[in-house]
Structures are given as structure tokens and as C-alpha cells.
Amino acid sequence: MIFEPDERRSPARNIDAMKVIPIHGARGPGAQEGERLADARGRPLRDLRISVTDRCNFRCVYCMPREVFGHEYKFLPHGAILSFEEIARLARIFVGLGVKKIRLTGGEPLVRRDLHQLIAQLAELGVDLTLTTNGSLLAKQAQALADAGLKRVTVSLDSLDDAVFRAMNDVAFPVARVLEGIEAAAAAGLAPVKINMVVKRGTNDQEIAPMARHWRGSGHVVRFIEYMDVGSSNGWRMDDVVPSAEVVRRIGEEYPLEPVDPEYRGEVAERWRYRDGAGEIGVISSVTQAFCRDCSRMRLSTEGALYTCLFAQSGHDLKNLLRGGASDEQLREAIEAVWRAREDRYSEIRTAETAARPKVEMSYIGG
């Protein structure tokens, strides 16, 4: 099935027709039962990010600018998005293929009704299960999510300065309510909370030091993310990127830092700890220090398409197979075939020209 691109949706949401892969013969030459699944560059499949909705109650300027995602924008209709049962079925197949970690994302995952019911289904899989949220609805939902089996949460917060934060989320949402959400998550046992700050030069880079200061000693970990050229609508320019090395230097001038060894191969954030023992920070340098070499992430979009890279220009339609009566084995072979053919390494080959190419939007594919 080919999805016609809809200009009022993301400018780049084309999804390749996914061939119905035959039950036999879908594997690469020599593949054996039980063999470790690796892509064309030898990378294993370890992480799955699932976008549970393409909708969001924020309009962050770097992600869903309101000039593009305004009243006219057509989000996916209910019937087009995967049900919780469909997601859970696919997740189980992914776990059978070696996935150890599942992150729910979006759009804003907590705007999807009864998300805790999906958490409960995924918790049965015994993987590291986590969620990225803007925190706006967390105070209300943290306990139900924890009770359903969620273990950890990442909350995005770009500034502690209310005026800066309101301008960046572009819906005038106050910082205080996100802080309440973080407290509620910690109280519900979802601590330590990871706090993501996207740093955009001239917009919130003056907030780097105050963020570090505020969360030092709290047990929570702030991760400073380089502003990326995801999608086609945020008007990204290299000049807006604050390199992680600069973030580490700026914080280190106030509070000396030392590097911490990664917990596992392929860890996205580079870790640093305060020499005085007040905890750690992370930096995610997807622009200045690409980590494609160890990238083990597959993404499942809201409407059931597979994406092998955050900067993909197209995906592979799994929903058609899923709703067309495919068996678990057929679905498994289809996923395997997509992963085996994967060659992505966008961040290693990024140029001004690639940055300007149309790509799927992050809110659709899942951040």
C-alpha cells in the first residue's frame, strides 16, 4: 500500500510500499535460526521507539512550529493509528528479535487516552520500558503509569525561566507545572528522572548554567541535546547549534566535571559527573559527534511504519501486513528484512545540503 503524501500533513511523510515478504526466503543469505540479527553495518537491533500519537499540546519552535502545525494541519485519523493491541503484538515480536529497551514517545505520548493500559501490556515483556514526555500531564498520570509497570521517565524542559520556556513551547505553558510533573514522577518511584534540554543558540543557551545549578544534587540527570535538523519545518541552521563540548566547558567552569564511562555500547548520552559528588549530567551530540556507528534503534511510527533512522526520508509500511492477516512469523521476517538492509548513518554524513532535504517530522516518527 502506498500512502499518498498529504501536503497539509508533514511535507515528508512518504512511506514506501512494503513488499509482502514471503514466509520463506526473506532472510539474507546464510542467515540461521537464532543468529544475531544485524544490519548491513553489523549493528544489532536493541532499541525500539514507539510513537503512540502524532499529536501534541505544545508547539515547540524546534519541533512543531505553529506555522506548519496550525489549525489547518491534518493529524492522523483515529482509524489510521495502531491500537494498543497492535502495538503490543509488534513489540512482542521485536523483543523476540533482540530488542531490550522500549521507549514510548510521540508527539506527546500522554495525550493518548489511557496510555497506562498500553504500559501494562508492554510491562509484561520484561524489557527496559520508558517514556519521553513534555511533562505537562505527568502530575496527573505519574502514579497510574508507575502502577502499570513504567520504570523510568524522561521529561523535556528547555528552560527554568518562565518567559523563555513559554516562548519555546509556544503555548505559554508554565515551567512550574512541568516541575510539578517531575516531582510527581519521583514520588511515584519513576526516579531518577532524566531531564532533556534542547539547546538552541540565542534562544535558551543562557539557561545552560541555571539548569545545571538547579538540578545538581537532586538525583535527577539533565541531558543537554544539540539542536538537530530533524524534519523539514524547523528552519535549522548550523549556527543555532551549541556544540556539547561548549556545554561541558561552560558548566565545568562553574562546577568541575569529569567523564564517566558509558553504561553500555551505543549509549546515546555522553556522561559527565561533578567532581564534588553532586551527581551527573549528560550531553547528546548528534550533530558534532555522530554516534551512528553504534546506533541500534528502530522506530515504529504512529500509523505502523518502520523507520531505521531519525532522519529517514521514507519508511516501511508494517500496518498493511498487520491488518492484512499476517502471522507473527511473517511480521518477524518483514521486520528482519528491513533491519538487515539498513545502512543509515545520517549524522556522519550531514551537510548543509542533506539538512535541507525533506525528511519525516520528529513528532510523527517519534523522538
Report the partner that residue 230 touches, choosing among ligand SAM, ligand SF4, none (CB closer than 5 to 8 A by kind): ligand SAM
Q: Does 106 bind ligand SF4 (CB under 6 A)?
A: yes
Q: Considering only 24-32, 91-99, 209-217, 292-300, which stretch makes contact with ligand SF4 by CB under 6 A? A: 292-300
Q: Specify the residue, 61 or 188, whose C-beta has the smaller distance to ligand SAM.
A: 61
Radius of gyration of the chain (CA): 20
How far apart CA 31 and CA 21 sit, in angstroms, is 16
Residue nearest to ligand SAM (CB): 367
In the bound state with ligand SF4, the residue whose beta carbon lies nearer, of 250 and 271, is 271
Between CA 169 and CA 60 the distance in angstroms is 4
Q: Which span sits near ligand SF4 by CB under 6 A: 2-10, 82-90, 183-191, 308-316?
A: 308-316
Question: CA nearest 276: which of 213, 217, 221?
Answer: 217
Selected binder of ligand SAM within 69, 165, 224, 227 (CB under 6 A): 227
Q: Kindly state whether residue 227 participates in binding ligand SF4, applying the rule CB under 6 A.
A: no
Least Cα distance to 15 among 299, 297, 233, 295 occurs for 299
Q: Which range, of 75-83, 105-113, 187-195, 331-339, touches ligand SF4 by CB under 6 A? A: 105-113
Residue 344 interacting partner from ligand SAM, ligand SF4, none (CB closer than 5 to 8 Å by kind)? ligand SF4
Element spanning 155, H or E: strand 154-156
Which helix (DSSP H) or strand (DSSP E) does residue 15 occupy?
strand 15-16
Q: Which does 232 bind (CB under 5 to 8 A by kind): ligand SAM, ligand SF4, none?
A: none
Binds 181: which of ligand SAM, ligand SF4, none (CB < 5-8 Å by kind):
none
Could you tell me which residues are beta bridge partners of residue 271? Answer: 260, 282
Output 289-292 pairs: Cβ under 8 A, ≥24 positions apart: 289/244, 290/345, 290/347, 290/348, 290/350, 291/266, 291/347, 292/344, 292/345, 292/346, 292/347, 292/348
Q: Which residues, numbered 310-329, are part of the site for ligand SF4 (CB under 6 A)?
A: 310-311
- How many secondary structure helices (H) and strands (E) does the chain include? 11, 13
Q: Which of 105, 141, 301, 320 lies at the binding interface for ligand SAM (CB under 6 A)? A: 105
Is residue 138 involved in binding ligand SAM (CB under 6 A)?
A: no
Establish if 44 lies at the interface with ligand SF4 (CB under 6 A). no
Asked if 11 contacts 65 with a C-beta cutoff of 8 angstroms, the reply is: no
Is residue 185 within 8 A of residue 153, CB to CB? The reply is yes
- Positions that interact with ligand SAM (CB under 6 A): 56, 62-63, 105-106, 108, 132-134, 156, 196, 198, 225, 227-228, 230, 234, 362-363, 367
- Positions that interact with ligand SF4 (CB under 6 A): 56, 58-60, 63-64, 106-108, 134, 156, 286, 291-292, 295, 297, 309-311, 344-347, 363
